[in-house]
Amino acid sequence: MVKITLISLLLYFKFTVDILSSIFSTEFIGNDTFYISTFAKKSPITIKQRNPFNIISKGDILLSEILFNPKLGGVDFVEIYNNSNHEIDLKELQLANANAAGEPASIKNVSSSKLMIAPGSYWVITTNQANIKLNYQTKFPNQFVQISSLPAFNNDKGVVILLSNNQVLDRLDYNSKTHHPLIQDDDGISLERVSFNASANEAGNFKSAAATSGFATPTYKNSQELTGDENFARLISKTFSPDGDNFEDLMILEYQLAANASLATVNIYNDKGKLVKQLLKNQTIGTNGNLTWDGVGENGQKAAVGIYVILFEFFDLKGNTKRIKSTCVLAGKLN
């Protein structure tokens, strides 16, 4: 009796599914929408829904860098970072500032057409990409979105809000006082995010872009992003020969700092202790990078063949100073 009842229920379930399938049909249209259609008495009804595979969640895309006080003749920019493991359509995003009540205002669409960005990529939103490329190094010049106008970002303080369909994805309340305290003129210097694992407004999570990176890093990794807990400065090669043969023409010093917002002085001395070249003098420096020397001294003359000492000194605002010394050989061709 139980077996017969179970079979009857299964047949009834299959009959119901077949009936529903004949009434409802679902069709995906592109990446943005799908349609559910019903047919009753020859009167079709279509319900438009958002494609669940294209919904942007909070944390998927984040604010990475902002230039709100450009040099004379320059323009603002906002850099965003795809923090997800999938592509994101910039058409789904909006930028805004905040009104007196702290709510999103002056909302601008980031893109009027579909524009997919890859995971782990940095994209810059501005009104004049040519101006940004002229004033800063841009490693990925195609990763720009140019729009007719940005929300107003004041030079002293303001708010940058990133939205998707009225949902706030990220928000930065910036202030010019966030810049490095030893910077006297912050015109043209961006604020960069240190960590994507911490809130944008967490204390210390945005800092001045390093002088060694040109004071901004549009389209690529932030100069103040922490990369390791080890301090080092090491030569790629112990010898170099600036003779124009395209082989080891430059001395290359690779460095990494465990703390950001540091300042550095890098001097090069000959074997008699005389200063030959100053690569940096109390400049803000990124957490990692390369410094180069072409063998030309402070006097504009090519330095003599011989041994040279590179003294890399860096310090933070607490007065902690560290020194790393390296030795290289400037070589030359035998006559």
DSSP secondary structure letters along 34-84: EEEEEEETTEEEEEEEE-GGGPPPTTSEEEEEEE-SPPTT---EEEEEE-S
- Which of 99-113, 156-170, 211-225, 314-328 is least confident? 314-328
- For the CA atoms of 87, 93, 98, 101, what is the dihedral angle to 10 degrees? -100
DSSP H or E run through 154: none
pLDDT for the residue 54: 59
The string of pLDDT tens digits covering residues 136-171 is 999 999 999 999 999 999 999 999 999 999 899 999
pLDDT for the residue 334: 62
The yes-or-no verdict on residue 34 having pLDDT over 70 is no
Greater confidence, 36 or 247? 247
CATH 2.60.40.1260 fits 55-213, yes or no: yes
- Which of 15-19, 172-176, 204-208, 276-280 is least confident? 15-19
Mean pLDDT, residues 309-327 taken together? 92
Tell me if residue 130 falls in helix, strand or coil.
helix
CATH 2.60.40.1260 spans which residues of the chain? 55-213
What percent of the chain stands above pLDDT 70? Answer: 83
The yes-or-no verdict on residue 27 having pLDDT over 80 is no
Contact call for residues 162 and 93 (beta carbons, < 8 A): yes
Of the candidates 207, 220, 188, 219, the residue with the CA atom closest to the CA atom of residue 75: 188
Contact call for residues 87 and 116 (beta carbons, < 8 A): yes
The yes-or-no verdict on residue 82 having pLDDT over 80 is yes
Contact call for residues 294 and 249 (beta carbons, < 8 A): yes
What percent of the chain stands above pLDDT 90? Answer: 77
CATH 2.60.40.2550 spans which residues of the chain? 232-330
What span, in angstroms and rounded, lies between the C-alpha atoms of 287 and 140? Answer: 20
pLDDT category at 332 given cuts 50, 70, 90 is confident
Contact call for residues 48 and 31 (beta carbons, < 8 A): no
Domain 232-330 carries which CATH code? 2.60.40.2550
Q: What is the mean pLDDT of the chain?
A: 87
